[in-house]
Amino acid sequence: MNKVEVFDPPMCCSTGVCGPNVDPALVRFTADLHWLANQRIAVERYNLAQQPQAFAASEVVKAALRQNGNKCLPLILLNGAVISKGRYPTRDELSRLTGVEPDPPGQAQAGAKLPVINTRCC
């Protein structure tokens, strides 16, 4: 099974989708990660402010942070290799990068269940 890991910059909660001023890009990306997980892709998400140990445990992430500082965040890995850095990819990009067939335009996935993604919230 393919595995996508998202290493987010420091945020108030694990997804950044809380509080009075929610960034629409974070809402879209969170929905896209749920969609990806429903396509049988393992998804894990880490927030630098809440899970620094995950950043320290990954040689790839440590190298990116040494080279670019926090500008490389969000850093997205597929099976341990960097597929995106410094921005949140769109669903179409995630689909292409992971080899998952995109949903037909305007068609929601029937019966999709929201999986638990390794995150914590404030």
Residue at 113 is within a domain: no
Rounded Cα distance between 1 and 39, Å, is 11
pLDDT in tens, the chain (122 residues): 899 999 999 887 656 666 667 778 888 999 999 999 999 999 999 999 999 999 999 999 999 999 999 999 999 999 999 999 999 999 999 999 999 998 776 555 544 444 445 554 55
Residue at 29 is within a domain: yes
Domain hosting 55: range is: 3-97
The tally of domains found in the chain comes to 1
Residue at 103 is within a domain: no
Looking at residue 114, its pLDDT comes to 45
Beta strands 42-47; 3-8: pairing state: parallel
Looking at residue 60, its pLDDT comes to 98
Q: For position 90, which CATH number holds?
A: 3.40.30.10
Residue at 106 is within a domain: no
Residue at 108 is within a domain: no
CA distances from 3 to 13, 21, 107, 109 (A): 22, 30, 25, 21
Whether the model pTM is above 0.85: no
